[in-house]
Chain A
């Protein structure tokens, strides 16, 4: 059989590499300007904050896409994994490792970031593995309920551990994360997920989504594949949590409850299922919409400011009515597509 001819418009590896390196260089430059205190004259730190939040949310949404988009399950516990990662990183950064002030600037936080993020990913992956095992026998609605229950358990457990502040939240986390670190982690996540979904792992997940019985007949170990997907997705949610904790410097268990999960789901469905481009677009569109509404209402109709929470769901409903599979459902931008496929 002939391989499909490479699309003439598909970017070569150099174009992609250029895009990645360019983004990283820009992020590091912005970070250095922030440290030097000259950023406010170049770019409003408010926008940089929004970009940082967007980056962390892309990691969350793209990793949930693995479960809800590619594997075809409706998992409802993503914020729980994020919480596990956030608390693991916070504990390590605030209680075990030396404070960043005792280390050289810029490099110090980076040195602290590597072990804390690794711990966040490992802890969340362990939680994901457990949930994956617990859902072996369930699919569909039952799996949703189990994952939702797990999310609640995680929040309640953290609330009852006084050593991490309990319901008061965890204060005094050093700020080791900046825009550069978040940008690098976002790119890394997208690269890993892109490689995964295009590999045989991704094919197996898709086959389970389309027909688990047929997949099993073809020799796919459904349980094993599900376990892998849950562990990987949870690890990346933990990565986002670890970044979040060290960016916001304060975390509370209730920030990781089902309301946060719902927010991730909204961005995921807005962007579209089984599409990394959709995950990026969904987060950007949602964040931009919320902030645009805030700014526009604030500038033109301050008395309507509370209507933001009515207008934004309305816009979401309109988008879903006109684009039922989300902004980019089952489609990819050229640079996220595998080479050789049009």
Chain B
């Protein structure tokens, strides 16, 4: 009985199987729509839909003399590597996409990359900053800078603009992102002539940092670097201030979320962090994107949204240059991208999948993110 029921259900799986469309540019999006970073998955989806509808409202993309409509197939990877592998298999073999945007977290981008690479489908991850994702791969690209660059940017900001001589770091040792930036900052800050007064760790979901912060306070650092995620940073800053640490506080792009100020309130004022882009950029293209996104979804786009939008535009442009919607040609056109002006800066691929692009430092003033300075490599 059960057997018959399952056999009857099987053909339904085939429903999703479609023939490659002749006048369509089909791109897969692997986004964490559910799971621990689902807010980020939503902004990924929003940005992709915005790019799709914009291109189609303009009549479609002109590719090799033909006009192609754009279609994004958005799939939920739950921010789990295993699910990302399944999503990549589905997008490539069932939906027959010509390229994939995603996934966002480094662990998921890393799980999808071998599949895209062996299938010869170009993958552009908007937000995965872990250097390993693109290493040794021909078909894997990213729209963001990598962790080492960010650690470097913050170290330069601390030593240059803040004229700090000593620095302390408190980071989550159980998360690859935090650990990567912390280590690069440590090395880079030493290279710039500074000394590290403290290098303290904690574990994800810890809520009491007083032991580490007391140690840091005794070392009297000129700056305190917290390369951690926005949901934990406010607590750390509150506890640091309560213990009497008055040094300026710095962070990385993990801070980029409106929740940071909501959770932290006034205590976050005066802190700065490095980011992919700043919503109060003066660039007209970026301003147009921000206005359209705000009008449609009612919120200011975060960095993940801006990077996803850039990844989509990169692929649109590559399709135009390649003259055909074919994965291999797309890959070659993508690799040859030079001086592409996106929302998050100018992107050039210099032989690898990692773009040469700049970062911005953002200052928090009266609960608002304010552009401080731009840093170019």
Contacts and interface: CB of A to CB of B under 8 A. Distances in A.
B96 to A, nearest CB: 10
B33 interface: yes
B176 A327 contact: no
Contacts of B15: 295-296, 299
Contacts of A12: none
Contact of B9 (A49, A175, A288): A288
Interface in A160-177: 160, 166-169, 171, 175
Contacts of A325: none
Given A167-B176, A298-B16, A299-B16, A306 B76 contact: yes
Contact of B89 (A45, A295, A296): A45
A31 to B, nearest CB: 15
Interface in A31-90: 40, 44-47, 49-50, 53
A102 B293 CA distance: 52
Given A156-B203, A168-B132, A305 B93 contact: no
A27 interface: no
B180 interface: yes
A119 to B, nearest CB: 22
Contacts of B179: 166-168
Contacts of A228: none
Interface residues of B, number: 41
A252 B86 contact: no
A325 B106 CA distance: 40
Interface residues of A, number: 41
B110 interface: yes
A50 B94 CA distance: 12
B81 interface: yes
B58 interface: no
Nearest to A56: B82
Contact of B93 (A46, A288, A294, A298): A46
Contacts of A169: 81, 107, 110, 132, 176
B111 A250 contact: yes
Interface in A226-259: 248-252, 254-255
A159 interface: yes
A44 B91 CA distance: 11
B17 interface: yes
A45 B118 CA distance: 12
A254 B90 contact: no
B89 A46 contact: yes
B33 A306 contact: yes
Contact of A49 (B34, B81, B86, B114): B86
A151 B362 CA distance: 40
A53 to B, nearest CB: 7
A308 interface: yes
A295 B107 contact: no
B94 to A, nearest CB: 5
Contacts of A340: none
Given A250-B114, A296-B15, A168 B86 contact: no
B12 interface: yes
B324 interface: no
Interface string A262-300: 000000000000000000010011001001101110110
Interface of B: 2, 6, 9, 12-13, 15-17, 33-34, 73-76, 78, 80-82, 85-86, 89-90, 92-94, 106-107, 110-111, 113-114, 130, 132, 135, 173-176, 179-180, 203
29 contacts: A46-B92, A46-B94, A49-B85, A49-B93, A53-B86, A159-B173, A160-B173, A166-B176, A167-B174, A167-B175, A168-B179, A171-B135, A175-B114, A248-B85, A249-B114, A250-B107, A250-B111, A252-B110, A281-B2, A288-B6, A291-B13, A291-B86, A292-B9, A295-B15, A296-B15, A298-B75, A299-B16, A305-B33, A308-B34
Q: Which 4 A-B pairs have the closest CB atoms?
A: A295-B16, A168-B176, A46-B93, A49-B89
Given A167-B174, A309-B34, 10 more contacts: A46-B89, A47-B13, A168-B176, A168-B179, A248-B82, A250-B110, A255-B80, A291-B86, A292-B13, A305-B33
